[in-house]
């Protein structure tokens, strides 16, 4: 039985789907924490041509949306003061947008070139980071728990702000005919759960 990579509980195959028109991939669901995960994603290298795929036409409007949301949150939590890090920051667009409205933001991404926020890589920060942002990343991480731990250790920070598109609850079951669209690079899907004690 495949164990959930988030909480360690048992999972069950929810459906199978052909990925990249050639691989039959199983999607496992954890009833305990609501994580839908694929089998080990051996097809990822083929799924990515670039770190940001050509099909992602919403990248600018999404970053503008996150800019407004995160500005409110950081002003509320920290009065907007201090340094912040965009982890997995892609081409640096979000870092650029946040800097343009006065936040001391920095960029980090081992898989992408910093085009928009040159001079503001994570190593340039003069103070410890107060918060880390991580957008459009969590769906693609093979070991999400280890990833968040590493991110917070590297940034020496305790506030992690992230986004992900939530799956419907209860989750879909293609074997019973429900239709869902999943991109080949998205290997995790989360549902909304009430926090537990
Ligand atoms: Zn789980």
Q: State residue 189 phi and psi, 5-degree precision.
A: -135, 140
Residue 50 confidence (pLDDT)? 55
| CB 29, CB 168: distance < 8 Å | no
189 Cα: distance to centroid of ligand 1 (angstroms): 11
The alpha carbon torsion through 145, 147, 151, 153 (nearest 10 deg) reads: 60
- Residue 109 sits at the vertex; the CA angle it makes with 43 and 76, to the nearest 5 degrees, is 120
168 Cα: distance to centroid of ligand 1 (angstroms): 16
169 Cα: distance to centroid of ligand 1 (angstroms): 14
- Residue 191 sits at the vertex; the CA angle it makes with 187 and 194, to the nearest 5 degrees, is 145
Residue 71 confidence (pLDDT)? 97
Residue 121 bridge partners (DSSP): 107
SS3 content of the chain, % helix, strand, coil (to 5): 25, 20, 50
| CB 72, CB 49: distance < 8 Å | no
25 Cα: distance to centroid of ligand 1 (angstroms): 19
Give residues with Cβ within 8 angstroms of 157, minimum separation 6. Answer: 85, 128, 129, 130, 131, 132
125 Cα: distance to centroid of ligand 1 (angstroms): 36
CATH tag for 59-162 (out of 3.40.50.150, 1.10.260.40, 3.90.1150.10, 3.90.550.10): 3.40.50.150
58 Cα: distance to centroid of ligand 1 (angstroms): 30
| pLDDT tens string 37-71 | 888 888 777 766 655 566 677 889 999 999 999 99
Please give the mean pLDDT across all residues of the chain: 84
Three-state secondary structure call for residue 165: coil
170 Cα: distance to centroid of ligand 1 (angstroms): 14
Q: Which two tokens stand for residue 155?
A: 């940034």
| pLDDT tens string 64-114 | 999 999 999 999 999 999 999 999 999 999 999 999 999 999 999 988 899
131 Cα: distance to centroid of ligand 1 (angstroms): 26
The Cα–Cα gap between 82 and 105 comes to: 9
Counting residues of the chain whose pLDDT is more than 90, the rounded percentage is 45
Which pTM value belongs to this model?
A: 0.78
Domain ranges of the chain: 12-47+165-189, 59-162
């Amino acid at each position: 039985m495949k164990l959930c990579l988030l909480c360690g509980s048992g999972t069950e195959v929810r459906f199978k789907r052909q990925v990249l028109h050639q691989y039959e991939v199983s999607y496992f669901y954890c009833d305990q924490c609501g994580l839908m995960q694929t089998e080990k994603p051996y097809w990822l290298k083929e799924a990515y041509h670039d770190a940001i795929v050509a099909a992602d036409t919403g990248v600018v409007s999404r970053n503008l949306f996150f800019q407004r949301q995160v500005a409110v949150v950081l002003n509320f939590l920290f009065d907007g003061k201090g340094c912040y890090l965009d982890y997995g920051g892609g081409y640096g667009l979000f870092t650029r947008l946040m800097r343009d409205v006065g936040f001391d933001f920095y960029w980090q991404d081992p898989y992408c070139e910093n085009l928009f926020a040159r001079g503001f890589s994570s190593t340039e920060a003069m103070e410890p980071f107060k918060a880390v942002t991580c957008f459009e990343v969590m769906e693609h991480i093979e070991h999400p728990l280890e990833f968040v731990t590493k991110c917070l250790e590297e940034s020496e920070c305790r506030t992690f702000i992230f986004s992900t598109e939530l799956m419907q609850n209860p989750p879909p079951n293609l074997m019973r005919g429900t239709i869902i669209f999943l991109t080949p690079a998205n290997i995790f899907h989360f549902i909304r759960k009430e926090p537990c004690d």
